[in-house]
Structures are given as structure tokens and as C-alpha cells.
């Protein structure tokens, strides 16, 4: 399974980086001041089917959609009916080359493996970007996008829409204010995978299937190793394959772990250990339990962070029953997806993908009242559209921090999530030096932090 490791605001933004230039696919991409008025943000959509359909629709509420890109012409034509004036492409590289000067911002909702190349190319051209979760397919990609956002002073946002929920922001304030005391233990779980992967699929498809005339397969494969088309990859079923998706952890942890990660001000972990079904070279495992250790932060205690996914012997992998009984009682039933933060003064339980709703009990599970704390985070409450609204306001005010899931935050969250997948492949506990972006105890496992893009694709 190892792949070769790859070694290595509008006017304000343009002015800040106008000293030099670079070329992309032979095209001069010198940046100049945008000419579009601030209330007419010119937006391009890359990946406009599936989740990308609602993403670009919401983009249309914050600006003018001027370009649409998708490898599936069916998706493209369907969305073009709504945005008739937008120019259509099936290769984002050509879209950027042709329309670079006519685009201010890009919304990217492709399969995971093309998030980073699509975003990096736009960012190097000075475009603000919104990227669906998980931010990237690999650890290195997440680090590069985070650094690019800082270097270019761009406004960014990752699409984990729970960040806009007022309930999540309230929970963050309560935990940070010490309402449940020191939190040393977190449990997050999901019922994913709900798409085909192990144990149903463990090997690559070998049958010869003709690529539909409407699908541009080479552009779908993107930077990953070439393989033949199969409907078991597209549409949607790509998520469970190592080469295209990030499995259950990549799909859901950027949602379900988000509240705890933000509330506890987590950053780089120190170690990650994964217990899972025996791996195959093509798909993510049927189940996993990942234990990640985080060091102390300021006055906050070290944290042991548990992630559970999939089914083992027909049952969902869940937190310990003793803990479940504390938060649910003897007859309560755990929801399919949620989180528990165990503090020394109380336990916060969120039966919600986004951490948007929660209740707090005493350490023994008895009812507990919590005093209100000062509001320190702005309120949004508009969900997915609210994420786009904050991103647009960040761009217009040239304040990247307005978008709360900007890449400075989302990049670290994504790295932490993807390290669970790296630990699966390593097969042993890994020790992580976040500043150096390096596994220190298993040097050979660093090969799983990235892979060599095939010719024609670049980060």
C-alpha cells in the first residue's frame, strides 16, 4: 500500500503579493487588483454535483457564479441550467488558465483526492477558496494549503458546516470557561462507512467497463495512479478507496470531532494508535478505534481522544458501555454519530454530527445545571449558507479570521483526522512531531504523509 513519498483580500491581497510572478502551465499569472465591485464577488465552482450542487447554489447567494467545472457533463449541464451565464469546463486547470482574471473566489467540492491540487492552483493565483471537508487527502497537502493561505493572505473556509451552528459555539464557550472542569478524555464515533468498502470490497475491480461518454475519467483520477473506470468509483462510491477518499474518518471527523477540537484548543498530537480490521491495499477497513494523545495546552490538561468507526461482528464500534450508561442511563441508546467530553466536573454529551446540540451531566451521570458564561464567539446560526456568508464577509473586509473554519484552524484539524488513517497503515503506534511534520519512531511510515502526483498534476 505504500506509495512513494513526495519530497520536496481582493485589492489588499493583490497589493501584498504584487512584487513577483510565477507561471502555471505556461500561463503568466501576475496578480493585479481585482476590478469587480466588492458586492459582486465572482465565483467559480469546481465539482458541482453531489454536495457541490448545494455549495455552488449557496455561492450564488453571495456573488456571481461565473464558471462551473465538473468531470461529469451530466452534473455540469444540470447546474448550468441555473447559472446560464457561467462558462463550463471539465478540467479546472484549463478553467484557471482561461478565466484566471475573471474569478475572485473558488468553491471546491470534488472528491477528496483533488481538493488540494484544485485549491493550491487557485491560491497561487491569489484566489480565495472554500473547500469541502476534509480539507485534503494527505497530511502534506493540508500543511501546504495552510501555509499558502498565510503566505498569500487569502480568506479561506473549510466546509464543516457545524462550525456555523450557535449550539457548537455555545459548547465551545462553556468548555473553555471550565464549566465541566479539566477535560482529559474525549470520545467521538460514527456509523460510517455507509458506502461500499471492506468487508464487501477488498480488491480493485478487474472487469472491463466502458467509460460513459459524459465522464472525463482522466480528470477524475487526477493526481492519483491511473486505473480503469468503473461505476464502483463514480459517482460517489469513491470515498472508501485509498486512492480517492479518506474513509469514515475523513468523511465525518471534521464534523463530529470539530466541537471538541475547537473547545479544547487542540493542535498537533504527540502519538496516534489505531486498532482496526486487517488492511487491504485498496479500501479502508470495516472498523477502527483510533486513540490520539494531545499534550497540555496553556492551562488545559493533556487529552486522550478516542475515535470509533464502522462495525465489528455486526455491531457499531462505540465508546465503553460504562460511559454510555453515565450519559444515557441504563436503558438509553447511543445515537449513530456523536461525541462525549469527559471533564472532572461534568460530562458533555452531544448526540449530533456537528456538536450543535448537547447536554451536561455530573461525573456520575446525575443531572447538572451549568451557569451561563460570557459570549465570546460571534453567532451565526445559518448552517451551510452561514459558512459561505462568513467567508464572503471575510473576503470583503479582508479579515481571514472572520471565517471560523479558515485553513489556519481547519488545516490542523484535518491533519489530526488524517493521522488516524496514517496510523492504520503504519500498523503500530506512531509518535508525531507536528512542527517538523514527521513521524519520529517509524521513519518508513512517513511515506503515508503524501504520495507522488502523476505527471500533469501539481501541488
Maximum C-alpha span of the chain: 66
Is the model's pLDDT at 344 over the cut of 70?
Answer: yes
Record the pTM. 0.91
pLDDT in tens, 266-299: 999 999 999 999 999 999 999 999 999 999 999 9
CB 124 within 8 A of CB 144: no
Cα dihedral 131→133→136→142 (10° resolution): 80
Task: Give the C-alpha separation, 175 to 14, whole Å.
Answer: 39
Provide the pLDDT confidence category of residue 330 given band limits of 50, 70 and 90.
Answer: confident
In this predicted structure, what is the pLDDT of residue 8?
A: 29
In this predicted structure, what is the pLDDT of residue 2?
A: 37
Distances (CA, A) of 24 to 21, 33, 337: 10, 19, 42
Mean predicted confidence (pLDDT) in 431-438: 98
Mean predicted confidence (pLDDT) in 366-378: 95
Side-chain-side CA neighbours of residue 175 (13 Å): 32
Candidates 169, 399, 185; CA nearest to 303 is: 185
Mean predicted confidence (pLDDT) in 12-36: 29
pLDDT in tens, 113-153: 999 999 999 999 999 999 999 999 999 999 999 999 999 99
Provide the pLDDT confidence category of residue 39 given band limits of 50, 70 and 90.
Answer: low
Cell numbers for 409, please give them: 484552524
Is the model's pLDDT at 14 over the cut of 50?
Answer: no
Task: Give the C-alpha separation, 295 to 115, whole Å.
Answer: 30
Q: Label residue 294 exposed, middle or buried (CB < 10 Å: 0-12, 13-18, 19+).
A: buried
In this predicted structure, what is the pLDDT of residue 430?
A: 98
pLDDT in tens, 69-95: 999 999 999 999 999 999 999 999 999
In this predicted structure, what is the pLDDT of residue 40?
A: 86
Is the model's pLDDT at 396 over the cut of 90?
Answer: yes
Mean predicted confidence (pLDDT) in 231-241: 96
Provide the pLDDT confidence category of residue 27 given band limits of 50, 70 and 90.
Answer: very low
Is the model's pLDDT at 18 over the cut of 90?
Answer: no
Is the model's pLDDT at 24 over the cut of 70?
Answer: no
Task: Give the C-alpha separation, 270 to 262, whole Å.
Answer: 17
CB 363 within 8 A of CB 345: yes
Is the model's pLDDT at 22 over the cut of 60?
Answer: no
Q: Kindly report the three-state secondary structure assignment for every residue of the chain.
A: CCCCCCCCCHHHHHHHCCCCCCEECCEECCCCCCCCCCCCCEEEEECCCCHHHHHHHHHCCCCEEEEEECCEHHHHHHHHCCCCCCEEECCHHHHHHHHHHHCCEEEECCCHHHHHHHHHHHHHCCCEEEEECCCCCCHHHHHHHHHHHHHHCCCEEEECHHHHCHHHHHHHHHHHCCCCCCEEEEEEECCCCCCCCCCCCCCCCCCCCCCCCCECHHHHHCCCCCCCCCCCCCCCHHHHECCCCCHHHHHHHHHHCHHHHHHCCCCCCCEEEEEECCCCCCECCCEEEEEEEECCECCECCEEEEEEEEEECCEECCCCHHHHHHHHCCCCCCCCCEEEEEECCCEEEECCCCCCCCEEECCCCCECCCCCCCCCCCCCCCHHHHHHHHHHHHHHHCCHHHCCCCHHHHHHHHHHHHHHHHHHHHCCCEEEECCCCEECCCHHHHHHHCCCCCCCCCC
Provide the pLDDT confidence category of residue 17 given band limits of 50, 70 and 90.
Answer: very low
Is the model's pLDDT at 31 over the cut of 90?
Answer: no
Task: Give the C-alpha separation, 238 to 355, whole Å.
Answer: 27
Is the model's pLDDT at 6 over the cut of 60?
Answer: no
Q: Determine the distance from the C-alpha atom of residue 79 to the mean position of all C-alpha atoms in its chain, rounded to a whole number.
A: 24
Is the model's pLDDT at 9 over the cut of 90?
Answer: no
In this predicted structure, what is the pLDDT of residue 367?
A: 92
Cell numbers for 307, please give them: 475515535
Mean predicted confidence (pLDDT) in 313-329: 95
CA-based Rg of the chain, rounded to a whole angstrom? 22
Amino acid at each position: 500500500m505504500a506509495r512513494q513519498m513526495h519530497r520536496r483580500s481582493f485589492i489588499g491581497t493583490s497589493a501584498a503579493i504584487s512584487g513577483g510572478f510565477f507561471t502555471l502551465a505556461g500561463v503568466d499569472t501576475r496578480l493585479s487588483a481585482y476590478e469587480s465591485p466588492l458586492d459582486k464577488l465572482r465565483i467559480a465552482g469546481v465539482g458541482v454535483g453531489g454536495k457541490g450542487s448545494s455549495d455552488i447554489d449557496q455561492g450564488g447567494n453571495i456573488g456571481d457564479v461565473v464558471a462551473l467545472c465538473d468531470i461529469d457533463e451530466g452534473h455540469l449541464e444540470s447546474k448550468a441550467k441555473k447559472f446560464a451565464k457561467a462558462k463550463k469546463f471539465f478540467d479546472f486547470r484549463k478553467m484557471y488558465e482561461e478565466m484566471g482574471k475573471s474569478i475572485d473566489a473558488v468553491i471546491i467540492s470534488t472528491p477528496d483526492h483533488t481538493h488540494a491540487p484544485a485549491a493550491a492552483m487557485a491560491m497561487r493565483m491569489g484566489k480565495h477558496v472554500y473547500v469541502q471537508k476534509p480539507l485534503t487527502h494527505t497530511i502534506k497537502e493540508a500543511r501546504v494549503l495552510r501555509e499558502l493561505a498565510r503566505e498569500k493572505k487569502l480568506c479561506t473556509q473549510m466546509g464543516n458546516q457545524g462550525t456555523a451552528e450557535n449550539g457548537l459555539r455555545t459548547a465551545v464557550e462553556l468548555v473553555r470557561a471550565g464549566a465541566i472542569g479539566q477535560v482529559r478524555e474525549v470520545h467521538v464515533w460514527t456509523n460510517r462507512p455507509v458506502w461500499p468498502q471492506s468487508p464487501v470490497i477488498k480488491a480493485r475491480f478487474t472487469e472491463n467497463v466502458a467509460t460513459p461518454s459524459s465522464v472525463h475519467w482522466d480528470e477524475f483520477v487526477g493526481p492519483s495512479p491511473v486505473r480503469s473506470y468503473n461505476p464502483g468509483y463514480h459517482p460517489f462510491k469513491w470515498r472508501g478507496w485509498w486512492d480517492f477518499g479518506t474513509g469514515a474518518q475523513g468523511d465525518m471527523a471534521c464534523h463530529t470531532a470539530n466541537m471538541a477540537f475547537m473547545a479544547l484548543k487542540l493542535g498537533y498530537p504527540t502519538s496516534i494508535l489505531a486498532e482496526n480490521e486487517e488492511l487491504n491495499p485498496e479500501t479502508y477497513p470495516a472498523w477502527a478505534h483510533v486513540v490520539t494523545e494531545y499534550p497540555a495546552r496553556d492551562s488545559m490538561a493533556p487529552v486522550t481522544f478516542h475515535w470509533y468507526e464502522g462495525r465489528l461482528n455486526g455491531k457499531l464500534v462505540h465508546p465503553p458501555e460504562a460511559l454510555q450508561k453515565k450519559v444515557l442511563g441504563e436503558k438509553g441508546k447511543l445515537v449513530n454519530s456523536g461525541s462525549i467530553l469527559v471533564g472532572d466536573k461534568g460530562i458533555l454529551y452531544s448526540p449530533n454530527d456537528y456538536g450543535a446540540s448537547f447536554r451536561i451531566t455530573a461525573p456520575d451521570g446525575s443531572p447538572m445545571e451549568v451557569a451561563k458564561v460570557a459570549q465570546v464567539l460571534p453567532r451565526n446560526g445559518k448552517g451551510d449558507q452561514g459558512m459561505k456568508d462568513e467567508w464572503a464577509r471575510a473576503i470583503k473586509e479582508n479579515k481571514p479570521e472572520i471565517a471560523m473554519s479558515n485553513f489556519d484552524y481547519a488545516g490542523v484539524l484535518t491533519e489530526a483526522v488524517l493521522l488516524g488513517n496514517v496510523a492504520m497503515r503504519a500498523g503500530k503506534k506512531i509518535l508525531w512531531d507536528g512542527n517538523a511534520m514527521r513521524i519520529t519512531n517509524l521513519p518508513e511510515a512517513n511515506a503515508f504523509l503524501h504520495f507522488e502526483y502523476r505527471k500533469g498534476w501539481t501541488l
